[in-house]
Structure 1
Amino acid sequence: MTTPVRTDLDAYRIAVAELPGSAIASPDVKGAIAVVPGDDAWWVAASDAIAAGAAAVVVAQPAVGPIEALDALASLAGATPVIVERPLFPADMVAAVGASIESLPAPGALVVECHAPARTLGPALRDAIGWARVIAGTPLAPRTTESWGGRVLALLESEQGSAVSIVSAVQPGAPRLGRVRITSIAPTRVEIDADLDTVACVTDAAGRGILPALFESAERVALRRAISAVRTAERPSDLADLRHDTGLAAALLSARPA
């Protein structure tokens, strides 16, 4: 059985063609998975697709949106799945890392480093916070933060008491989408290095293991997740997670020196 997909994005058209057993291109939004580009006001396009009867929505590389708009989209979406493709927070690698650390206790501390060109610092910091949330195992809350001239120094805390320090800055020579490094401080160390290629390592007393590289395109991963959500009637947490990470990133970037 194939699921219809409505998209104008070339990368997603290719992904549909690569999934002939489960996806088929559709000219209509109603009853289809609607793929919307994540440029300015993407939440409006996503809301329009849901109102038009989309079975699910995929948001491709979303820009930072206002919290009020994300809340309104979540309220409108209801049971309609919303899948978010986040370049520095790839869903397949997030799942692999989560599975590899699920039996570990929460780390005592995490160090988060993030740098990006000015235009993409917001999304990069948002995705860095996403990684910290996954490794800490719980939502995060701000404790101390300062921001000035495109630089951020912050201390967050997880619900289980993990301290999360963040250093983030605008850097003109950084990769186009930014770069993120996360290091846990714990008996078993978890390291994430995310840019266009994400590398994850887990180090314990037995040695250092590098999680296998994942070569499937982000577009195919997003479509497969959307198709699965439609067929199983599950409701992925993408939008709620995006809301958490966006709200924290916005709070850190708007903080002023004491």
Structure 2
Amino acid sequence: MTTPVRTDLDAYRVAVAELPESAVASRDVEGAVVVVPGADAWWVVASDAITAGAAAVVVARPAVGPIEALDALASLAGAVPVVVERPLLRADMVAAAGASIEELPAPGALVVECHAPARTLGPALRDAIGWARVIAGTPLAPRTTESWGGRVLALLESGLGSAVSIAVALQPGAPSPGRLRITSIAATRVEVDADLDTVVAVTDATGRRILPARFESSERVALRRAISAVRTAERPSDLADLRHDTGLSVALLSARPA
């Protein structure tokens, strides 16, 4: 059985073609998985798709949106699945990392570094905070923030006691989506390096293990997840996670200079 997919994005058309047993291209919105480009005001387009009867929505590489708009979208969506494609926070890598560290105690501290061109600094920081949330195993809250000349230093904390230090800087020469590095300080060290590719490594007394590379495109991963959510009536946590990460990233980047 195939699920109809409505998209105007070339990368998602390729993803549909690569999933012939589960996806079929459609011109209609009603009853389809609708792919929404993540440009400015993407939340309006996503809301319109849900109102028009979309079975699910995929938001492709979303720009940073206002918290109020994210809340309104979540309220409107209700049981309609909304999947968010975040290239620096790939769902398949998050799942693999979670499976590797789920039995570990919360780390004492995390160090987060984020560099990106001005155009993508907000989404890059948002995804860096997302990785810190995943590794800490709980939502994060702000403690202190200082900013100056396009740079930010901040301290967050988790409900499980992890201290999260964040260093953010504009870097015109960084890869277009940005560059992230997250390192846990614990007996078992977890390291994430993400830019055009994502590498997750876990180091303990037995050695260093690098999680298998993922060769599937982030678009195809997002589309598969949306189709699965439609068929299983699952409601992914993507919007709630996006709201958490967006709120913190906006607070850090809008902090007044020290």
Instruction: State the TM bucket, normalised to the shorter chain.
Output: over 0.9
Correspondence list, 1:83-98, <5 A: 83-98=83-98
Amino acid in the other structure paired with 2:223: L
Which residue in the other structure is 2:167 paired with? 167
**One-letter identity of the residue aligned with 2:25:** A
1:76 counterpart residue number? 76
The offset of 1:163, in angstroms, is 0.1
How do residues 56-71 of structure 1 correspond to structure 2 at under 5 angstroms? 56-71=56-71
Deviations 1:81-105 (A, max 9, x none): 0000001111110110011000000
Alignment of 1:13-28 (within 5 A): 13-28=13-28
* Structure 2: 5+ residue stretches without partners: none
1:215 aligns with 2:208: no
> Is the partner of 1:103 in helix, strand or coil?
coil
Secondary structure of 2:246 counterpart: helix
CA RMSD of aligned residues (A): 0.6
The residue correspondences of 1:41-190 to structure 2 (distance < 5 A) are: 41-190=41-190
Q: Which amino acid aligns with 1:11?
A: A
One-letter code aligned to 2:82: V
SS in 1 for 2:68: helix
Q: Which amino acid aligns with 1:57?
A: V
* AA at the equivalent of 1:52: A
Residue ranges of structure 1 left out of the alignment (5+ in a row): none
Measured in 1, the distance between the counterparts of 2:46 and 2:148 equals: 33
Letter in 2 for 1:187: A
Cα deviation, residue 191, structure 1: 0.1
Paired with 1:257 and 1:223, the residues of 2 have a C-alpha distance of: 41
3-state SS of the aligned residue for 1:229?
helix
- Deviation of residue 142 (structure 1)? 0.2
Residue of structure 2 in register with 1:234 after alignment: 234
1:192 match = 192
How far apart, in 1, do the equivalents of 2:44 and 2:16 lie?
24
Report the CA distance between 1:123 and its aligned residue. 0.3
Cα distance between partner residues in 2 of 1:74 and 1:150: 32
Distance 2:42 2:70 in 1: 10
CA distance in 2, matches of 1:71, 1:223: 23
Please tell me the residue identity of whatever aligns with 1:235: R
**Which residue is 1:256 aligned to?**
256
Query: How much does 1:148 deviate?
Result: 2.3
Number of residues of Structure 1 aligned to a counterpart in Structure 2: 258
Give 4+ residue runs of structure 1 displaced > 3 Å after superposition.
none
SS at match of 2:174: coil
CA distance in structure 2 between the aligned counterparts of 1:81 and 1:9, rounded to whole angstroms: 20
Name the aligned partner's letter for residue 71 of structure 1: D
DSSP 3-state at the match of 1:88: helix
State the identity as a percent: 86
Q: Match for residue 33 of structure 2? A: 33
Q: Helix, strand or coil: the match of 1:199?
A: strand
- Residue deviations 1:44-86, cap 9 Å, x none? 1100000000000000000000111101100100010000000
Take 2:218 and 2:257, find their aligned partners in 1: how far apart are those partners?
38
SS of 1:246 mapped into structure 2: helix
| One-letter identity of the residue aligned with 1:24 | V
- What TM-score do the two structures reach when normalised by structure 1? 0.99
Q: Is 1:10 matched up with 2:10?
A: yes
Q: Secondary structure at the match of 1:127?
A: helix
The letter for the 2-side match of 1:162 is S
Separation in structure 2 between the aligned mates of residue 72 and residue 154 of structure 1, nearest angstrom:
29
Q: Residues 92-138 of structure 1, C-alpha deviation per residue, up to 9 Å, x if partnerless?
A: 10110011000000000000000000111000000000000000000
Task: Please report the TM-score for the alignment, with normalisation by the length of structure 2.
Answer: 0.99
TM-aligned CA deviation for residue 150 of structure 1: 1.6
Q: Secondary structure at the match of 1:202?
A: strand
